A and B are shown apart, each in its own frame.
Chain A
Amino acid sequence: MDRPDAGLAERFEAALLDADRSGAAALLGELPDASPAEALELVVVPALQRLGERWEAGDLALSQIYLAGLICEELSDRLLPGPGGGDDGPVLAGVAALEDQHVLGKRLVLGALRSSGVEVADLGQGLGPEALADRAMDRGVRVLLVSVLMLRSALRVKELVARLRARGSPMAVVVGGAPFRLDRELWREVGADAMGLHAAEAVRLVNAFSGEVHP
């Protein structure tokens, strides 16, 4: 189907920033010919991407990104109901907070991925490298997204990657969080495969590493 006009996209973003759940849902209804997956691809995911970029540029607060992510996740659940990685079976992607108990980054990434229909599991928080490697391998994760808050946790990604490779796992490891944003070479230093500057980049990175295409 044709791409929606720019006005619809702007109004959808404005609805997200106004925490207008019903307004955002109604705007998706202005795409009567779109399948649910197309609505996610053409409106929801690009909106999250643009909001993430605006946060990166200093225009928005993290709390606004969080709320927008919650709304989009709710819309996605309504459009594409069904298991998205909540059972114990194999999943494409897994998200975890390494070492830290701070889960906001993990929540944002989970929301962005679920909003785009990616099969993703919440692998938890406060886990050390060995426990996270075990959990990710048990779920058959192909792309592991790791969120951290503190530099110490970021540096432990090195051990996580080493454990995965020692077990012969080709799992891609994508990292994000404040230490990686502040030191743009840190992801290479710890042996990660990529870094996301904000949660919405998770969709692009999962697509890139999985070889599959999700909205």
Chain B
Amino acid sequence: MTAAARPQEAMTAAARLGTCLSHREADRVPFILPATMHPARLLGLPLSEYLVRPEAVVEGQLLFRERTGHDALVAFLHAAGEVEPFGGQVVLHDDGPPNAGPAPLRGPADVERLAVPDPLSSPSLCRTLDVARGLAAAAKGEVLVVSGAVAPFSLPVAQLGFAGWLDLLRTAPALARHLLEVNAAFVSRWIRLQHEAGVALVVLFDPLASPQMVPLETWMDVGLPALRAAMAGAVGAVGLSTASAPCLRTLPAFLGAGAAVVAASGAESLAVHKAMCRGRATVVGNLDGIAMRRWTPADVEREVRLALAAGGPGGGFVLFEHHGEIPYPVPMEVLEGIGEAVRRLGRYPLGGGG
């Protein structure tokens, strides 16, 4: 259903999201569909062409919002681009998100020599800023622009390889700390550039902050300080996410770091996550994008209803996909269906049947 066919809502998307981020109930529960690829399909463009044309991304995001009615515009292109300033490559595909190429840092010697690169040295990151500026101009304050970045402690997975990073942490802790200092400075600048380009909320993806990946005490010792350093220079809102990995045990540290928004994992109770965050941070989550590929209309209705019931009461909740990127195979009908369900079931006070 296009915007023209939908009944006009009481609040703009920006006002709705702003009310929600203030832990108050707006006219309805906001929802954000982090679809970085679906707009290419709507425009009839190959993904490999779409992702290198900022003007196409702007047009596509506006069209996607027209089709789904979700409450933000997404400037984020792909996580692979974050390794470009470090000498990495982005490998584009037409059937899914880009891959990061081989790890650009080969070992301890490369880490020792590493200086903080300029995000503007990356073509991909420069395109993200062009998209952000274009979306902010088009939105005219009525819709917020959101984006993402990879957190300092998780970035080495692409810089060194996961095994290489684990080896460095264990065998050369001083070098690991140096890498984290470089990454914190880089991410801090990258967040700020995005805010200055018109992004209202940058979500930092830190999957290695999940106890499923490394022991929590390890992340608290070295990952958390780097995260705090990266967040310190932000001039807008920053959210934190473990990109669907379990995170309830990490949550107190995320809240202590001052996250405005924290993402919930589909593997854990959304209600528990919401209770822990109430009044301190807005919760986003926790729909499963991989499962969405096979959702029937009944599945859409059920999953939206469950999430709204668990997270919606009291405001401070945005319906979101828990990985942070909707898989390309998810049908547009499912995404449009999620929008229809939220508009019908998500009006406050909840439980009134819309």
B161–A102 CB distance below 8 A: yes
Binds B, one of A2-10, A30-38, A63-71, A201-209: A63-71
A79 contacts B by Cβ under 8 Å: no
Q: Is B218 an interface residue (CB 8 A)?
A: yes
User: What per-residue 1/0 map shows which CB atoms of A99-137 lie under 8 Å from chain B?
Assistant: 111111001000000000000000000100000000000
Complex partner residue of B100 from A61, A101, A186, CB under 8 angstroms: A101
Task: Decide: A182 and B166 in contact? CB cutoff 8 A.
Answer: no
Instruction: Report A's interface with B, CB cutoff 8 A.
Output: 19, 55, 58, 61-64, 66-67, 99-104, 107, 126, 150-153, 155, 179, 182-183, 186
By a CB distance below 8 angstroms, the chain A residues around B244 are: 182
Q: Are B95 and A152 in contact (CB under 8 A)?
A: yes
Chain A residue nearest to B244 (CB atoms) is: A182
Interface residues of B in 227-250 (CB under 8 A from A): 244, 246
Which residues of B are found within 8 Å of A153, using beta-carbon distances?
Answer: 96
Residues of B within 8 A of A152 (CB): 93, 95-97, 327-328
14 A-B pairs whose Cβ atoms sit less than 8 Å apart in the complex: A62-B212, A63-B166, A63-B213, A63-B215, A64-B215, A67-B170, A99-B99, A100-B99, A101-B99, A101-B161, A103-B161, A126-B102, A152-B93, A182-B291
Tell me which of A102, A150, A151 contacts B157 (CB under 8 A): A102
Max chain A CB contacts within 10 Å: which of B101, B212, B218? B212
- Minimum CB–CB distance from B37 to chain A (whole Å) comes to 10
In the complex, B214 has a CB within 8 A of chain A: yes
Contact A63 B99 (CB under 8 A): no
CA distance A63 to B95 in the complex (A): 31
CB proximity of A181 to chain B, nearest CB, Å: 10
A102 nearest CB neighbor, chain B only: B162
A16 to chain B, nearest CB (A): 14
Among A58, A66, A102, A151, the residue within 8 A (CB) of B166 is A66
Task: Write the nearest CB–CB distance from B321 to chain A, whole angstroms.
Answer: 12
Q: How far is the CB of B312 from chain A (nearest CB, A)?
A: 24
B214 touches A150 (CB 8 A): no
Which residues does chain B contribute within 8 Å of A66, judged by CB atoms? 163, 166
Across-interface contacts of B97 in A (CB, < 8 A) = 150, 152
By beta carbon, the residue of chain B nearest A183 is B290
Contact partners of B162 in chain A: CB under 8 A: 102-104
Give CA–CA (A66, B208) in the complex, Å: 14
Contacts of A155 in B (CB 8 A): 95-96, 329
Alpha-carbon distance A182/B266, docked complex (angstroms): 10
Residue in B closest to A62 when the chains form the complex, CB atoms: B213
Flag if A151 contacts B329 (CB, 8 Å).
Answer: yes
Q: Which residue of A lies closest to B169 (CB)?
A: A63
Bound Cα distance from A117 to B327, whole angstroms: 39
CB contacts under 8 Å to A, within B166-215, are: 166, 169-170, 211-215
Chain A residues whose CB sits within 8 angstroms of the CB of B99 once the complex forms = 99-101, 126, 150
B212 touches A58 (CB 8 A): yes
Give every chain A residue within 8 A of B328 (Cβ-Cβ): 152
**Closest-CB distance, A130 to chain B (whole angstroms):** 15
Is B288 part of the contact surface with A, judged by Cβ < 8 Å?
yes
Q: How far is the CA of A196 from the CA of B190 in the complex (A)?
A: 38
Residues of A within 8 A of B150 (CB): none
* Complex partner residue of B213 from A61, A126, A179, CB under 8 angstroms: A61
Among A19, A61, A102, A126, the one with the most B-chain Cβ atoms within 10 Å of its Cβ is A61
Instruction: Kindly state the separation between the CA atoms of A34 and B80 in the bound complex, as whole angstroms.
Output: 49
Chain B 149-163: CB-based contact to A (< 8 A → 1; otherwise 0): 000000001000111
Q: Which residues of A contact B218 (CB under 8 A)?
A: 61, 63
- CB pair B163–A61 under 8 Å, yes or no, is no
Please report the C-alpha to C-alpha distance between residue A203 and residue B267 in the assembled complex, in whole angstroms: 27
Interface string of B274-290 (1 = CB under 8 A from A): 00000000000000101
A-facing mask of B253-272, CB < 8 A → 1, else 0? 00000000000000000000
Give the residues from 111 to 145 in chain B that come closer than 8 angstroms, CB to CB, to chain A.
Answer: none
A62 to B93, CA, bound (A): 29
Closest CB in chain A relative to B211 CB, distance in Å = 6
For A107, give the chain B residue with the smallest CB separation: B163
Which 8 pairs between the two chains have the least Cβ-Cβ distance? A152-B96, A104-B162, A63-B214, A183-B290, A61-B215, A151-B327, A61-B214, A104-B163
A179 adjacent to B290 (CB under 8 Å): yes
Q: How far is the CA of A126 from the CA of B215 in the complex (A)?
A: 28
- CB neighbours (8 Å) of B29 from chain A are none
- Which chain B residue shows the least CB distance to A152? B96
**Min CB distance, A106 to chain B, in Å?**
9
Nearest B-chain residue to A155, judged by Cβ: B329
Which of B95, B163, B214 has its CB near the most chain A CB atoms (within 10 A)?
A: B163
A sample of 18 more A-B contacts (CB under 8 A), given A100-B99, A101-B101, A182-B244, is: A61-B212, A61-B218, A62-B214, A63-B214, A63-B215, A63-B218, A64-B215, A102-B157, A103-B163, A104-B162, A107-B163, A126-B99, A150-B99, A151-B329, A153-B96, A182-B288, A183-B291, A186-B290
Complexed CA–CA distance, A19 and B101 (Å): 31
Q: Which residue on chain B has the smallest CB distance to residue A185? A: B294
Q: Kindly list chain A residues whose C-beta atoms are within 8 Å of the C-beta of B288.
A: 182
- Chain A: minimal CB distance from B83 (Å): 10
